[in-house]
Chains A and B, each alone.
Chain A
Amino acid sequence: MIENARSIDRTATVLLLLGSVFVLLPLAFVAITATQSYGDFLRNNFSLLPGTHFWDNVAAVWSLTDLPRQIMNSVIVAALVSGGKCFLAFTTAYAVVFFRTRYVPLVYAAVVASIMLPIELRVITVYQVASNLALPVNAAANTGGLWAVLFGAPLDLQLNALDSYAGIALPLMAQGAGTLILVQFFKTLPRDLARAATMDGAGPLRFMADVLLPLSKGPLLSLFIYFFIGGWVDYMWPLVAASSPEMQTAVVGLARLGPGMEEDIPNYPLEMTGAIMVTVIPLVLIALTQRRIVRGLALSEK
């Protein structure tokens, strides 16, 4: 740019090259291993030469493991989590930014505070709630033994959400980052938008649907992709929320693949093939929509 910066540019290039290699090398090892048969792998151990058995391995994973079904689960869960987060964030952010009502800042604080404690820290008690969603209703009804006095026995509703898509997805939605990002975005919109819509005779809900929603398409799409990938790669909660392999997500399934295989030396070609199958959807998404995601994220810390 300015002075004779060729040596600095060369250093920058070398650093970027190292960084790119650091990122790509593990993926390359995975890809190479996935092309080898178990036999080759046992003979040659780790190899840098690609083999020819990739599709055999894919077919084997497809027929021998639960991964196909689990990838389907991941698509459903990630879409639910992402769609849910976007919806919740949109209506909340709208309420927070466009209403002058007094309790609104409190709502915002309550939502954003959730960013502080990720679900990995609350997993024990989230599990407890998910295993019976009626827990707070029971607790309220039984305060002071009231229900028992009236009906003879304490209220004991049971609503187990574990091992269901909703049970996996709902707790993952309880995170306020999307609200934070959309609030930042709404604040950048022209001030007189709501006034103009009111002059045109649109009420608050109409304004939300006819003006705000179309304006937010870009950021919402970025958020959706970002949260979709986030939902896909979540591990701890889907691991405890789904006990049966049929309901587990792909990431959990992959982590559980190793121990399920009976050989003394793990069938790493199959495991790495599985890793590719589990990762390919979010990876393609991220490689193709990189700019959009970056732009969406950049909104968050303005």
Chain B
Amino acid sequence: MSNAFFRNRWLPFWLASPQLLVMFLFFYLPVFLAFFWAFHLERPFGGGSQFVGWANFQRVLADQEFWAALRRTVVYMLLASGSSILVALILALAADRAVRLSPLARNLLIWPKAVAIASVGVIFLFIFNPFLGVLAPLNEVFPGIWNPRINPLHTWIMIYIANIWSAIPFTFIILLTGLQAIPETLHKAAAMDGAGPWRRLRDIQLPLLTPQLFVAVVLEVADSLSGSFGLIDTMTQGGPGGATNMLVYKIYVDGFKAYDLSGAATQTAMLMVVVAGITALQYLFLEKRVKYER
């Protein structure tokens, strides 16, 4: 069952070579360099590198702020992907029913995909502005009840809502496509077997949706991580008081503001290992369970 037919020796290589060159320059070389600099220090005043062993790691691991940022990052990846998948799943289940609003909603719910995560940050920062935004009237009645500039809890709520808003479309599309691929007759068969709508949701829809849920989890975990930069950079710059300083943002600040190439590279290397490890775990433990023949 394969389309593989041609047997040329070098032609496929030449065909793939532009892609491979781009991959080499901007993916594999940077990944290598991240690990290279994690074990080297830049010589001051330009000019080469110096091998320093695990010194960079010792420095980074001794930094309380690194651990705090790592913890925030992991918690954020879990909560942000979890919350956005849950919202998208509920909406996809609703849109899967042939109600009159469904076609319109299916179009509308994709719109946030067009808004850059950084623009989402700009927009929600304004909307949640304690004195000028939507909740300003509330603040006039109960002063200080809402202030994401000072209260980290409020800041996080603001970030999560912005993230959910931004993450709905992709997960929604994936899950809705999966739901619609479930044959109508399976619903009918289950109804004949005596299963009501909720029972069917539990016994038929959700189990058959696991492949799409898996894809959604893998992609959303990665997306929440990369998207966190756009939100943090535009909304909080890590504040208030460093409460929302996550690893991707911290690496950016360390690398581009503090010019600490080796420190930033060391943290990058560790983050890469964490992310690659999470992805590998997902594939090892989850993927096998969600595969079946339709």
Give A residues with C-beta under 8 Å from B: 1-3, 5, 8-9, 11-13, 15-17, 19-20, 22-24, 26-27, 29-30, 33, 41, 45-46, 84, 87-89, 91-92, 94-101, 103-104, 107, 110-111, 114-130, 133, 135-136, 170-171, 173-174, 176, 179, 186-187, 189, 191, 193-195, 198, 204-205, 229, 232-236, 239-240, 251-252, 254-255, 257-258, 265, 268, 271-272, 275, 278-279, 282-283, 285-287, 290, 293-294, 297-298, 301
CB pair B19–A92 under 8 Å, yes or no, is: yes
CB pair B23–A15 under 8 Å, yes or no, is: no
B139 CB to nearest A CB, Å: 10
Interface size class of B (residues with CB under 8 A): 35 or more
**Interface bits B6-50 vs A (CB < 8 Å: 1, else 0):** 111101110110111011111111110110010000000000000
A sample of 5 more A-B contacts (CB under 8 A), given A97-B4, A129-B30, is: A19-B91, A23-B168, A122-B30, A129-B33, A301-B174
CB pair B6–A87 under 8 Å, yes or no, is: no
A-B contact pairs, 23 of them (CB 8 A): A3-B197, A16-B94, A29-B134, A46-B136, A101-B8, A107-B12, A110-B20, A118-B225, A120-B248, A121-B226, A124-B255, A124-B268, A125-B30, A186-B3, A189-B3, A191-B3, A204-B11, A235-B118, A240-B252, A254-B118, A279-B115, A287-B114, A294-B173
Q: Lowest 3 CB-CB distances: which A-B pairs, in order?
A: A233-B116, A95-B12, A174-B26
Whether B68 is near chain A, meaning CB under 8 Å from some CB there, is no
For residue B229, which residues in chain A have a CB less than 8 angstroms away from its CB?
120, 235-236
CB pair A125–B97 under 8 Å, yes or no, is: no
Which B216-242 residues have C-beta < 8 A from chain A? 222-223, 225-226, 229-230, 233-234
Which B97-124 residues have C-beta < 8 A from chain A? 97-102, 104-119, 121-124
- Can you name the residue of chain A whose Cβ is closest to the Cβ of B247? A121
CB pair A268–B4 under 8 Å, yes or no, is: no
For residue B256, which residues in chain A have a CB less than 8 angstroms away from its CB?
124, 127, 240
CB pair A125–B19 under 8 Å, yes or no, is: no
Whether B126 is near chain A, meaning CB under 8 Å from some CB there, is yes
Cα–Cα, bound, A131→B188 (Å): 61
CB pair B111–A27 under 8 Å, yes or no, is: yes
Partner among A16, A87, A173, A235 whose Cβ is within 8 Å of the Cβ of B116? A235
Which B33-82 residues have C-beta < 8 A from chain A? 33-34, 37
CB pair B279–A116 under 8 Å, yes or no, is: yes
B127 CB to nearest A CB, Å: 6
- Can you name the residue of chain A whose Cβ is closest to the Cβ of B7? A100
For residue A173, which residues in chain B have a CB less than 8 angstroms away from its CB?
22, 26
Partner among B7, B22, B177, B196 whose Cβ is within 8 Å of the Cβ of A294? B177
Partner among B5, B16, B22 whose Cβ is within 8 Å of the Cβ of A96? B16
- Can you name the residue of chain B whose Cβ is closest to the Cβ of A204? B6
Cα–Cα, bound, A67→B15 (Å): 39
Partner among B100, B112, B134, B264 whose Cβ is within 8 Å of the Cβ of A23? B112
